[in-house]
Amino acid sequence: MAKDNKKMVDAITSMDEDFAKWYTDICKKAELIEYTSVKGCMVIRPYGYAIWENIQHILDGMFKATGHENVCMPMFIPESLLQKEKDHVEGFAPEVAWVTHGGDEKLEDRLCVRPTSETLFCEHYSNIIHSYRDLPKLYNQWVSVVRWEKTTRPFLRSREFLWQEGHTIHATADDAIAETERMLNLYAQFCEESLAMPVVKGKKTESDKFAGAVSTYAIEALMHDGKALQAGTSHYFGGGFAKAFDIMYTDKDNRKVYPHQTSWGVTTRLIGAVIMTHGDNDGLVLPPAIAPIQAVIIPVQQHKEGVVEKARELYDTLNAAGIRVKLDDSDNSPGWKFAEYEMKGVPVRIEIGPRDIESGSCVAVTRHNREKAIIPIEGLADTVKAKLNEVHDALYAAALENRERRTYSCTTIEEINKALENGDGFIKAMWCGDEACEDKVKELTGVGSRCIPFEQEQLSDKCVCCGKPAKAMVYWGKAY
């Protein structure tokens, strides 16, 4: 069994040796993705897509609980429509893929393959919104988008990816801003409660906000290697898009006024975030909420009478309790199965053999720490549910410890560079608000601004770069 296990483990590069290769190895060996003949695009394989489906299912329920409805916009955007919002089109121009021909005929107005859908929603709003009674509109869609990235990596950055994009339109600025903040908080709640991933909530600097937005908010997470990952964004657009697309409505005082808009989204990069937050040198480590298989049952000495039958009883018990469970009674060796489901990050493994049956017990092994426990078969479902909760809490605690250990408070450029000698991480430092200083910090240290956190600290009264009076504390870091 040890030989079988070692063969699987050797297939993964150690994260300490080469973190990028470790990540790619897991994506491939855990059967999450496969490459295609279209450079920068990937096949999301069944196990990877099942993770995305669980993410989608949880988030979709949260969206609907807050009054949002799903819609579906076209994949193509006429260039003339895209050009209506100048800042927006300039921000996306380098990443746009264009359709120039329909069959053999050249298109008079070439079509952009959707990189995001603000312009499509605006066109739709202009047709359906006339009165204050038509507001608000709380929409979301689950689609794929295309952005022609130069450097790609599975889930983190690909030319086509899956996401959800929420688009809402409101009567007042206050309502729209409240929506922007509400959805950011929803994302943070999802990441912490379902992905076991702590995040920092904050506002992006002016230079880093979404093209066409008045303000952009983000949640930032820290990965195993100390690099930051933007896990979700929420944007307040004000009335800029409404004015560009001539969206007006009649208010209660019979005046023609412009509405206010938002958009917000998360993508399949959340799968990459889960890999890099919780994974280890043996493969995936999945939070129970999104694991396609929450518990796997492995019969030991399954050729002996009654073993497989008992394993099926355990399967029926867990399945009836709503636990996503798999019984592997294939003819592979137990050692191969142990390694396989460790690679796939299954949170709990149940082993059952002749001696266990005699004693009315089974063995439960939790993936994140490989702790074994002999547990009674009676009350198995409740015990497994408790184990799943333990897994989530332990994963969150470990991720939080990693973030706190790799977060440094600095008051000078020298302190930043000294802190980074210990490896990458979050830097907390004061900033004057000047974009030139923001750029200078990155030039001198290699870390860029990630967000201005809502939870502010007064580390000093001076900018870390120029020494002028500071306006805010900023999280800085290297990022994916």
| DSSP annotation string for 387-437 | HHHHHHHHHHHHHHHHHHHTEEE-SSHHHHHHHHTT-S-EEEEEE-S-HHH
Long-range residue pairs from 37-44, CB within 8 A, at least 24 positions apart, any chain: 38/159, 39/152, 39/159, 40/148, 40/149, 40/152, 40/158, 40/159, 40/160, 41/158, 41/159, 41/160, 42/154, 42/158, 44/162, 44/268
The residues facing 162 across adjacent strands are 144
pLDDT per residue as tens digits for the range 22-42: 999 999 999 999 999 999 999
Virtual CA dihedral for 458, 459, 462, 465, nearest 10 degrees? -130
Contact 59, 190 (CB under 8 A): yes
Identify the pLDDT of residue 10: 58
Contact 28, 259 (CB under 8 A): no
In whole angstroms, what is the distance from residue 84 CA to residue 361 CA?
A: 67
Can you tell me which residue has the tokens 């296990």?
5
Whether residue 146 is predicted with pLDDT greater than 80 in this model: the reply is: yes
In whole angstroms, what is the distance from residue 324 CA to residue 330 CA?
A: 19
pLDDT per residue as tens digits for the range 230-262: 999 999 999 999 999 999 999 999 999 999 999
CA angle 69, 70, 76 (to 5 degrees): 140
Chain-centroid distance, C-alpha 319? 28
Q: How confident is the model at residue 92 (pLDDT cuts 50, 70, 90)?
A: confident
Q: Which helix (H) or strand (E) holds 185?
A: helix 173-193
Contact 268, 155 (CB under 8 A): yes
The pair of three-digit structure tokens given for residue 57, joined into one six-digit string: 């299912």
In whole angstroms, what is the distance from residue 389 CA to residue 364 CA?
A: 14
The count of C-alpha atoms lying within 13 angstroms of the C-alpha of 248, restricted to the half-sphere facing its C-beta, is: 8
Average pLDDT of every residue of the chain:
96
Cis, peptide link before residue 136, omega less than 30° from 0 = yes
* DSSP structure class, residue 469: B
Pairing of strands 325-327, 256-257: unpaired
Whether residue 9 is predicted with pLDDT greater than 60 in this model: the reply is: no
Mean pLDDT of 94-121: 95
Contact 157, 269 (CB under 8 A): yes
- Phi/psi for 407 (5° steps) reads -110, 125
Mean pLDDT of 362-375: 98
Long-range residue pairs from 453-457, CB within 8 A, at least 24 positions apart, any chain: 453/200, 453/201, 453/202, 454/201, 454/202, 454/203, 455/201, 457/409, 457/428
Identify the pLDDT of residue 89: 75
Mean pLDDT of 161-174: 98
Lowest mean pLDDT among 209-213, 218-222, 424-428: 209-213
Name the pTM for this structure.
Answer: 0.95
Mean pLDDT of 148-171: 96
pLDDT per residue as tens digits for the range 263-280: 999 999 999 999 999 999
Mean pLDDT of 176-199: 98
Contact 126, 246 (CB under 8 A): yes
In whole angstroms, what is the distance from residue 405 CA to residue 424 CA?
A: 11
**Domains of the chain as residue ranges with CATH:** 12-278 (3.30.930.10), 295-387 (3.40.50.800), 407-477 (3.30.110.30)
Whether residue 108 is predicted with pLDDT greater than 80 in this model: the reply is: yes
Contact 472, 431 (CB under 8 A): yes
Contact 124, 73 (CB under 8 A): yes
Can you tell me which residue has the tokens 């409660």?
193
Q: How deeply is 20 buried, as exposed, middle or buried, from its count of CB atoms within 10 A (0-12, 13-18, 19+)?
A: exposed
In whole angstroms, what is the distance from residue 118 CA to residue 73 CA?
A: 10
In whole angstroms, what is the distance from residue 116 CA to residue 75 CA?
A: 9
pLDDT per residue as tens digits for the range 306-337: 999 999 999 999 999 999 999 999 999 999 99
Long-range residue pairs from 57-61, CB within 8 A, at least 24 positions apart, any chain: 58/190, 58/194, 58/289, 58/290, 59/164, 59/190, 59/266, 60/140, 60/142, 60/164
In whole angstroms, what is the distance from residue 371 CA to residue 275 CA?
A: 21
The pair of three-digit structure tokens given for residue 248, joined into one six-digit string: 């007006």
Mean pLDDT of 456-461: 97
Q: How confident is the model at residue 1 (pLDDT cuts 50, 70, 90)?
A: very low
